[in-house]
């Protein structure tokens, strides 16, 4: 008997020259998140961010080609300065994925691990990989560590 294929998992590890509390706030403060979320070249609005377990968020991405992508989700877990878990999916879509962000203190620097599960296939994983890596570049710039964040 064959097992059903498992959906691919995306995992990115990145080190930022900022303490975990600052990285955590960049994700969970609505205005901060709005200033960097989305791939490079994409401007985003975050009209809603309810910073609590069970709280909702909404991101509106304005793509360079004029298209708009709306993403919504719910915070499933929040551990101050250590990480959070949230659902991630297209507004009005039928599929929902899970994003886990973990933060580890490296004596004033932060190791961030982003794990994105429930993706539809390798192409979806690869597309999200490019998007998240690009967004993390924007996060590094937002944190004032331009060019100092490095991938592992």
Reported CATH class of domain 10-151 = alpha beta
Q: What is the DSSP string of 2-17?
A: PPPPPPP-EEEEEEES
pLDDT digits (tens, 9 = 90+) for 79-126: 999 999 999 999 988 889 999 999 999 999 999 999 999 999 999 999
Q: How many of the other CB atoms lie within 10 Å of CB of 121?
A: 11
The H or E element that residue 107 is part of is none
Mean pLDDT for 126-133 is: 97
Nearest by Cα to 20 from 28, 9, 31: 28
The structural domains of the chain, with segments of one domain joined by +, span: 10-151
The answer to whether the beta carbons of residues 24 and 147 sit under 8 Å apart is no
pTM value surpassing 0.85: yes
pLDDT for 22 equals 96
pLDDT tens digits, one per residue of 46-79: 999 999 999 999 999 999 999 999 999 999 999 9
Secondary structure letter of residue 38 according to DSSP: S
């Amino acid at each position: 008997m064959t097992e059903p294929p498992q959906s691919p998992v995306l995992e990115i590890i990145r080190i930022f020259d900022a303490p975990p509390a600052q990285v955590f706030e960049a994700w969970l403060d609505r205005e901060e998140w709005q200033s960097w979320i989305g791939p490079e070249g994409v401007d985003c609005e975050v009209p809603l961010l309810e910073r609590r377990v069970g709280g909702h968020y909404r991101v509106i991405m304005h793509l360079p080609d004029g298209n708009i992508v709306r993403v919504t989700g719910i915070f499933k877990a929040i551990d101050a300065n250590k990480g959070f878990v949230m659902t991630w999916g297209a507004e009005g879509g039928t599929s929902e994925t899970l994003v886990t962000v973990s933060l580890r203190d490296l004596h004033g620097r932060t190791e961030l691990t982003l794990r994105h599960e429930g993706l539809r296939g390798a192409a979806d994983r690869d597309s999200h990989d490019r998007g998240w890596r690009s967004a993390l570049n924007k996060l590094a710039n937002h944190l004032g560590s331009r060019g100092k964040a490095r991938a592992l």
